[in-house]
Structure 1
Amino acid sequence: MDLVARHFATGRWTRFELDDEWIAAVEELEGAEDFGPDDDWVAPAFWDIQTNGRWGISFSSPELTRDQVVKIVRAQAELGTARLCPTLITAPVDATKQALETIAVACASAPDVAAKVVGIHLEGPFLSELDGYRGAHPRDAILDPDWDLFREFQDAADGRIVLTTIAPERPGSIEFIERAVSEGIVVALGHTAADGPTLRAAVDAGARLSTHLGNGIVAQLPRHPNPIWEQAAIDGLSASFIADGHHLDPSTLRILTRAKTPGRTILVSDASPLAGLPPGLYGEWAVDDSGKVVVSGTPYLAGAYPGLEAGLEMLLKSTDFSLAEAIATVTENPARLLGRTEPTLVNGAMANLVVFKHDPNGGSPFRLTRSYIDGRWALPGSSSQQGNPALD
């Protein structure tokens, strides 16, 4: 099967021969040099290292089932996502263990799901308990870092936790970071009120990422210094961003990504368990008409609604990133952070790719049209057009 589209890195028309799950040949073609708004473009499919669920189902829920995990993971293809980290937020210990076991069972029972799940992101429970900083994380389940407890979580997950977010000001954090890093776990800093020296000590201990920098923080801060500027200034930290139009305004995204540079910028969806549901009140959380997800009755955001396509569109509109640099924030950069092979579009590489519209002349900067992931085509919104696949 052949695909002809403009290559995201060169802009040149390119023919790709797809042989099931692999790219069998790549050939640069002669073609029109002038870009058109209807041109097809192609890039590697996305990596999303922070997604919390979908269709009212949370990866953190003790009621999570194997079938729900399988269906949510498989549905990521329609969002352009080939690889993901199911993300668990703070919950009671037993609930977290149960959810981790369920994800592990889903991976063990379905090889395609295991291939898509690059690992689990444990966001909590070792976070700040302060209002604002803790965001939607329940205060009564937040704990100080405890290596023995983390090992229990890892055992429940069958060793699949690859990324964990902690607040480095909590007692025992530095020792925890050192231990985690020594065992191959990537440590991120987030939901933190830490000062500069504490943040720098965490980086010296091995922390490598700021989780959704600019969010998970109190609404009003000292002008300077504060945890946002301190993390932005530390070159040893990459940073993930939620560029959904609600979590960060364009100017803040532009400034923070300049500080981090394209090579240390990662976009995440931070998809809420309410992603894919219509606007309304859902227990303690709510979705408004604009797609903003909040803790009911508060201004605190509780994850995001759209996939990474929206983040790429905002990044390209708000910054000076080239198309190739923007694509790297959802492909090369997260893969490199996790120590995995970076996705490419070369002969012999896996044929995980997205086809999209991109107008460099001032039109739509990014619009996903279809994805080819693990040997199958997927269209945006295809599962929602067939009812709710996670609840069937």
Structure 2
Amino acid sequence: MSSTELTGRDPSTGRPVAVLVTDGMIASIGPGPAAEEVWLAPGLIDLQVNGFCGHDVNGAPDPAAVVAMVHALFSIGVTTVVPTVITASEEQIVLALRAIAAARAADPLVAHAVPYAHVEGPYLSGEDGPRGVHPSEHIRAPSVAEFVRWQRTSGDLVGVVTLSPHFAESSSYIADLASRGVHVAIGHTHATPEQILAAGDAGATLSTHLGNGSHTVLPRHPNYLWAQLADDRLNAGFIADGHHLSRETLIAMLRAKSLDRSFLVSDAVALAGSPPGSYSTPVGGTVELTADGRLEHGTTGMLAGAARSLADGVANVARLGPFSLGQAVRLATSSPGRFCGGRGVLRVGAPADLVTFRWQPGDPTLAVEQVLVGGQSPISRA
């Protein structure tokens, strides 16, 4: 039997706590040292990660690259990672899923940290704006047969699928996946409010990075953003990097959807975690990564993906004004944890996925000091 103890202040209460970890589980939670200066929280949960620190989930990734990406995310406090595969040919999607499955088989910490994979597409809107940077040549209608092939070749790895419910096949596809226990998300869509409603009726439960992957100009009402905000069956992910949604938009959307039905994602691409500079990418060509984490096309200035971490997103929400640090942490722990078997909580008997960090009002990120993943320490900083 192995035991360790972490101490820090609980962001939800401000009170110092001591968490005893035994054999990878939280064994007890009690009072901590009164002079404690660091924060202690469940590890962060990111339901949408395309890449990080030069490692890409898409294309034909080497399993070692997926392992390296997950371990790099440990260093910034993310202990649950959902690798996200975007629109591509079926062959390319299968190759990516197989690499993720192989990474889980090769590394026990990765197997613990990666509960499933997220396939964002290929059943998306083909219209400019909602399509984003997803390749138009691979946009297609939903196919249960294709989904079954994904699962057969990856060992039932796929746990979330993002689609646009404007296709005639959408409702039957959503109902089929929901019956298998797979979460279905609405995203990159030009669907009507009636089609959004039908998707919820069929079993869709998520909205992928709501407010992004949409037209630049929309009718005031009705539109697919209002429809998703109004449907209490849909839990919405938000990219809180300070670039994808303005301060006012993010505040209004979080209030409209409510903190109970909201969560943060990074939607990070491979250049996230890289130093500022000019880069050449397979999608988008030349891009510029600025010092404040904005990734933009070198010629148009349009966003070319997300390049800030989930820890940055938590700090940004805590800096908005209306929300406390505890509420911001909740949006990246217990809120997304509901879709990962109840992870992201400080509770006796829960897996010991924990992070300690320093943060003061105004800080742009969480300064991670110690991380436990399933009770093990993949990184530690003095």
Aligned match of 2:50: 52
Deviations 1:170-206, CA, capped at 9 Å, x for gaps: 2311111011101111000000011111101100111
Aligned match of 1:390: none
Matching residue within 7, 23, 26 for 1:23: 26
Matching residue within 250, 267, 270 for 1:270: 267
Which is worse superposed, 294-303 or 222-231?
294-303
What is the CA-CA distance between 1:287 and the residue it aligns to?
3.1
Aligned match of 1:357: 358
Q: Does the residue aligned with 1:314 lie in a helix, a strand or coil?
A: helix
Say if 1:210 and 1:231, in contact at 8 Å, map to a contact too. Answer: yes
Matching residue within 121, 126, 135 for 1:124: 121
- Structure 2: gaps (5+ residues): none
What one-letter code is carried by the residue in structure 1 that aligns with 2:102? V
What one-letter code is carried by the residue in structure 2 that aligns with 1:93? E
What one-letter code is carried by the residue in structure 2 that aligns with 1:39? E
What one-letter code is carried by the residue in structure 2 that aligns with 1:324? G
Aligned match of 2:187: 190
Say if 1:357 and 1:367, in contact at 8 Å, map to a contact too. Answer: yes
User: Which structure has greater strand proportion?
Assistant: 2
Q: Does the residue aligned with 1:334 lie in a helix, a strand or coil?
A: helix
CA 1:297/1:92 → structure 2, altered by over 3 Å: closer, same or farther? farther
What is the CA-CA distance between 1:122 and the residue it aligns to?
0.3
- What percent of counterpart residues are identical? 37
Q: Distance in 2 between matches of 1:95 and 1:377?
A: 31
What RMSD, in angstroms, separates the aligned Cα atoms of the two structures?
A: 2.1
Q: Distance in 2 between matches of 1:324 and 1:55?
A: 28
Matching residue within 299, 303, 312 for 2:314: 312
Q: Distance in 1 between matches of 2:23 and 2:172?
A: 46
**Where does 1:100-179 land on structure 2 (aligned, <5 Å)?**
100-179=97-176
Q: Distance in 2 between matches of 1:119 and 1:222?
A: 36
TM-score in terms of structure 2 length: 0.91
Aligned match of 1:14: 17
Q: Distance in 2 between matches of 1:208 and 1:104?
A: 25
Deviations 1:293-344, CA, capped at 9 Å, x for gaps: 2355445433211211111112122252333322221111112134x02332
Aligned residues: 372
Aligned match of 1:228: 225
What is the CA-CA distance between 1:120 and the residue it aligns to?
0.2
Q: Does the residue aligned with 1:275 lie in a helix, a strand or coil?
A: coil
Q: Distance in 1 between matches of 2:131 and 2:298?
A: 15
Matching residue within 249, 254, 258 for 2:251: 254
CA 1:128/1:354 → structure 2, altered by over 3 Å: closer, same or farther? same
What is the CA-CA distance between 1:9 and the residue it aligns to?
2.2
CA 1:314/1:138 → structure 2, altered by over 3 Å: closer, same or farther? same
Q: Distance in 2 between matches of 1:142 and 1:295?
A: 22
Aligned match of 1:341: 342
Which is worse superposed, 18-27 or 346-355?
18-27
Q: Does the residue aligned with 1:79 lie in a helix, a strand or coil?
A: coil
What one-letter code is carried by the residue in structure 2 that aligns with 1:349? A
Q: Distance in 2 between matches of 1:371 and 1:29?
A: 16
Q: Distance in 1 between matches of 2:336 and 2:319?
A: 21
CA 1:163/1:56 → structure 2, altered by over 3 Å: closer, same or farther? same
Deviations 1:92-142, CA, capped at 9 Å, x for gaps: 221111111111111122222111101100000000011111101000011
Q: Does the residue aligned with 1:169 lie in a helix, a strand or coil?
A: coil
What is the CA-CA distance between 1:377 and the residue it aligns to?
5.1
Say if 2:45 and 2:344, in contact at 8 Å, map to a contact too. Answer: no
Q: Distance in 2 between matches of 1:299 and 1:192?
A: 23
Aligned match of 2:372: 373
Q: Distance in 2 between matches of 1:348 and 1:337?
A: 18
Q: Does the residue aligned with 2:338 lie in a helix, a strand or coil?
A: helix
Q: Does the residue aligned with 1:287 lie in a helix, a strand or coil?
A: strand
Which is worse superposed, 5-14 or 21-30?
21-30
- Structure 1: gaps (5+ residues): 33-37, 383-392
Q: Distance in 1 between matches of 2:33 and 2:271?
A: 45
What is the CA-CA distance between 1:3 and the residue it aligns to?
2.9
Aligned match of 1:239: 236
**Where does 1:193-208 land on structure 2 (aligned, <5 Å)?**
193-208=190-205
Q: Does the residue aligned with 1:302 lie in a helix, a strand or coil?
A: strand
What is the CA-CA distance between 1:364 and the residue it aligns to?
3.5
Aligned match of 1:3: 6
CA 1:366/1:28 → structure 2, altered by over 3 Å: closer, same or farther? farther
Q: Distance in 2 between matches of 1:259 and 1:208?
A: 16
What is the CA-CA distance between 1:4 and the residue it aligns to?
2.6
Say if 2:122 and 2:140, in contact at 8 Å, map to a contact too. Answer: yes
What one-letter code is carried by the residue in structure 2 that aligns with 1:188? A
CA 1:291/1:326 → structure 2, altered by over 3 Å: closer, same or farther? closer
Q: Does the residue aligned with 1:128 lie in a helix, a strand or coil?
A: coil
Aligned match of 1:389: none
Q: Does the residue aligned with 2:80 lie in a helix, a strand or coil?
A: strand
